[in-house]
Amino acid sequence: MLIRPGADTDRPALRTLFLNTRRASWAWLQGETWRLEDFDTVTQDEQIWVAEIDGQLAGFAAVWTRDNFLHHLFVSPDWQGHGVGSALLDKVQSELTDTGSLKCLVQNARALRFYQRHGWRTTARGTSPDGEYWLMHYPVL
């Protein structure tokens, strides 16, 4: 597995991965209005890290580096459970310049457990258009 910076040539595959993974992983949300182009909108000006396995994109992380904010971490359903998410999160954590933060939807219990296993701690609860979320932080030592 190769973790590398995302390139413009990755965008078509990342758009598809983002859309398909949201639909598969966030089944409690109504995804009829989600489009391929959403990826471009929600990751604009963010650092993209991709996980590549045998020439295929298996997942990505998008980070708003100015605030050390992990905005997205998505792993293709075909690659979940194979260490892709952990490898991406390790890369993100290694690049943090200060305490990291993220928001995890409350209903996404699997993701919450994943982040907790990797040292992220819940610090607050809030509400977004996609539902309630946990604000989580990762301390940089």
Rounded Cα gap, residues 22 and 9, in angstroms: 21
- The pLDDT confidence band at residue 69, using thresholds 50, 70 and 90, is very high
- DSSP-assigned beta bridge partners for residue 57: 52
* Assigned CATH for 2-98: 3.40.630.30
- What are 96-113's pLDDT values in tens digits? 999 999 999 998 899 999
Q: What pTM, to 2 d.p., does this model score?
A: 0.90
> Where are the domains positioned within the chain?
2-98
Phi, then psi, of 35 in degrees rounded to 5: -130, 160
- pLDDT > 60? residue 29: no
Distance, C-alpha 140 to centroid of its chain = 19
Asked whether the beta carbons of 6 and 45 are under 8 A apart, the reply is: no
